[in-house]
């Protein structure tokens, strides 16, 4: 753990975004995680994405549960709203916050323990309800804080640092999210920011539940031979189905790839996702095909990464529930307390 503050001095030519902020303005405090932790790279990718999107920090709410991953919101977006919830309960708190104030941008950060074990049910319900959020699981396949036991996402047959073989089947959060109806599903790797940053940007601008499973090697307990979440293993078995150039607005798109190798997906807000196909015939808007493909490659020992599925016309929880478009904290007393006549009307409607 580093004890000193990161120096305020920055590169003299550091770029500013539309808000006049530099990337450094989106940082948080210095990480207390182990040196080299993949989670720190994901934090850096979130910082980069928020900077490039020119997000106003005070419009972002970052929520997390318990674990190494759930400590990280302290290390990015230092000027945003933060809520460190009970273990595995982040999805519920996020859902509640989203219902109360739909105007904020919600970023849930969790880990494989927090989402695939104690909070598995919470994770499932937030996803299936279509809460408008970006949900990132920093997946290292190990319980780092308690010194390296297998987690629920550890692959069957993989070895612990001490050589013990894991006999339990792994929960594949990407497959689960697809099954539960997530409208944006991606997998990436902390060691490949070129891939990760555009995915986070696209997820943040997606309306609906966007899920990113990010493999993040645990340097201390899960970066050895025999692990399937190590730098070397992931680099060797990584099969990226596409490369995403996230494009804001409706600017003309420069396609510098060969014709027919690109997929353009226009989202709700008009933003365009320019996807460069790496796997021929892979269609990221076909949920069933995606699920099939994932299972096939997984059986072949590959780690499929990229934007796996997106539904650009997705609707979110608020639309389904027909809630008020005004955040609760902006409603006046007359709207919040409509009086006994309104109550009588509702009661009458239920008789």
Partner 1 sequence: MQRTSIAGPDYFHKVVDCQWACPAHTPVPEYIRLIADGRYSDAYMVNWKSNVFPGILGRTCDRPCEPACRRGRVEDEPVAICRLKRVAADNKDDITARLPEVAPRNGKKVALVGAGPSALTVARDLAPLGYHVVCYDADAKGGGMIRSQIPRFRLPEEVIDEEVGYITSLGIEMRLGQRIDSLKALLDEDFDAVFVGTGAPRGRDLDLPGRQEAAANIHIGIDWLSNVSFGHITAVGRRVIVLGGGNTAMDCCRTSRRLGGADVKVIVRSGFDEMKASPWEKEDAIHEDIPILNFLVPKAFTHENGKLTGVTFEKVEAQYDDKGRRRLVASGEPDQHFECDDVLVAVGQENAFPWIERDLGLDFDEWDMPKVDPVSFQSTRPGVFFGGDAAFGPKNIIWAVAQGHEAAISMDRFCQGGDVSDRPEPGVTLVSQKMGIHEWSYDNDISNDHRFRVPMREKEAALKDIRVEVEMGFDQALGFKEAQRCLNCDVQTVFAEPLCIECDACVDICPVDCITFTDNGEEEDLRARLKAPALNADQALYVSAELKTSRVMVKDEDVCLHCGLCAERCPTGAWDMQRFTLEMTHAGGTGACGR
Q: CA-CA distance, 70 to 117, in Å (whole number)? A: 14
Q: Is residue 11 part of the contact set for partner 1 (CB under 8 A)?
A: yes
Stretch that binds partner 1, among 231-239, 276-284, 289-297, 336-344 (CB under 8 A): 231-239
Which residues on neighbouring strands pair with residue 277, listed in sequence order? 242
Residue placing its CB nearer to partner 1 in the complex, 42 or 210: 42
For 272-329, the DSSP string reads EEEEEESSTT--TT-HHHHHHHHHHHHHTT-EEEEEEEE-TT---HHHHHT--SS-GG
Question: Of residues 2, 169, 266, 295, which one binds partner 1 by CB under 8 A?
Answer: 2
Inter-residue contact 263 to 284 (CB < 8 Å) = yes
Q: Is residue 38 part of the contact set for partner 1 (CB under 8 A)?
A: yes
Residue placing its CB nearer to partner 1 in the complex, 71 or 207: 71
Question: Of residues 21, 25, 28, 40, which one binds partner 1 by CB under 8 A?
Answer: 40
Inter-residue contact 209 to 320 (CB < 8 Å) = no
For 238-260, the DSSP string reads EEESEEEEEE-TTPPP---S-TT
Question: Of residues 190, 209, 238, 271, which one binds partner 1 by CB under 8 A?
Answer: 190
Stretch that binds partner 1, among 7-15, 59-67, 309-317, 319-327 (CB under 8 A): 7-15
Q: Is residue 228 part of the contact set for partner 1 (CB under 8 A)?
A: no
Q: CA-CA distance, 200 to 206, in Å (whole number)? A: 10
Question: Can you list the positions of beta strands (E) in the chain?
Answer: 60-64, 81-84, 105-111, 133-139, 142-143, 149-150, 184-189, 209-215, 238-240, 242-247, 262-266, 272-277, 303-310
Q: Is residue 13 part of the contact set for partner 1 (CB under 8 A)?
A: yes
Stretch that binds partner 1, among 120-128, 158-166, 186-194, 245-253 (CB under 8 A): 186-194
**Residue 178 CB, nearest distance to partner 1 (Å)?**
29
Question: Of residues 89, 128, 193, 276, which one binds partner 1 by CB under 8 A?
Answer: 193
**Residue 21 CB, nearest distance to partner 1 (Å)?**
16
Q: Is residue 165 part of the contact set for partner 1 (CB under 8 A)?
A: no
**Residue 233 CB, nearest distance to partner 1 (Å)?**
12
Q: CA-CA distance, 207 to 271, in Å (whole number)? A: 11
Number of residues that bind partner 1 (CB under 8 A): 35
Q: CA-CA distance, 88 to 111, in Å (whole number)? A: 9
Inter-residue contact 191 to 184 (CB < 8 Å) = no
Question: Of residues 83, 120, 231, 257, which one binds partner 1 by CB under 8 A?
Answer: 231
Stretch that binds partner 1, among 4-12, 113-121, 145-153, 207-215 (CB under 8 A): 4-12
Between strands 184-189 and 142-143, the pairing is: unpaired
Q: Is residue 188 part of the contact set for partner 1 (CB under 8 A)?
A: no
Residues 114-153 that bind partner 1 (CB under 8 A): none
Q: CA-CA distance, 290 to 165, in Å (whole number)? A: 30
**Residue 237 CB, nearest distance to partner 1 (Å)?**
14
Inter-residue contact 76 to 28 (CB < 8 Å) = yes
Interacting residues with partner 1 (CB under 8 A)? 1-14, 24, 30-31, 34-38, 40-41, 43-44, 190-191, 193, 217, 219, 223, 231-232, 235
């Amino acid at each position: 753990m580093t004890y000193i503050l990161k120096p305020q001095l920055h590169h003299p030519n550091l770029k500013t975004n539309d808000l006049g902020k530099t990337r450094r303005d989106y940082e948080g405090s210095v990480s207390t995680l182990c040196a080299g932790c993949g989670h720190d790279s994901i934090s850096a990718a979130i910082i980069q994405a928020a900077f490039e999107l020119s997000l106003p920090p005070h419009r972002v709410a970052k929520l997390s549960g318990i674990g190494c991953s759930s400590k990280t919101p302290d290390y990015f977006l230092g000027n945003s709203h933060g809520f460190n919830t009970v273990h595995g309960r982040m999805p519920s708190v996020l859902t509640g916050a989203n219902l109360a104030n739909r105007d904020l941008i919600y970023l849930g950060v969790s880990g494989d323990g927090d989402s695939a074990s104690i909070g598995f049910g919470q994770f499932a319900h937030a996803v299936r309800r279509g809460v408008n959020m970006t949900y990132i699981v920093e997946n290292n396949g190990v319980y780092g804080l308690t010194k390296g036991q297998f987690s629920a996402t550890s692959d069957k047959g993989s070895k612990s640092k001490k050589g013990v073989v894991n006999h339990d089947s792994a929960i594949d959060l990407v497959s689960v999210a697809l099954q539960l109806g997530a409208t944006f599903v991606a997998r990436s790797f902390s060691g490949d920011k070129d891939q990760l940053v555009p995915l986070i940007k696209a997820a943040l601008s997606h309306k609906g539940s966007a899920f990113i499973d990010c493999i993040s090697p645990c340097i201390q307990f899960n970066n050895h031979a025999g692990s399937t979440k190590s730098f070397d293993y992931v680099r060797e078995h990584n099969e990226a189905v596409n490369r995403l150039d996230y494009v804001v607005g409706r600017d003309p798109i420069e396609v510098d790839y060969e014709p027919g190798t690109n997929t353009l997906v226009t989202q709700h807000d008009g933003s365009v996702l320019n996807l460069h196909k790496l796997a021929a015939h892979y269609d990221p808007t076909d949920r069933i095909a995606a699920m099939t493909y994932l299972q096939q490659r997984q059986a072949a020992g590959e780690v499929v990464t990229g934007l796996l599925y997106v539904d650009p016309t997705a609707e979110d929880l608020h639309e389904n529930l027909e809630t008020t478009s005004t955040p609760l904290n902006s409603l006046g007393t007359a709207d919040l307390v409509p009086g006994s006549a309104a109550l009588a009307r509702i009661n009458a409607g239920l008789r």
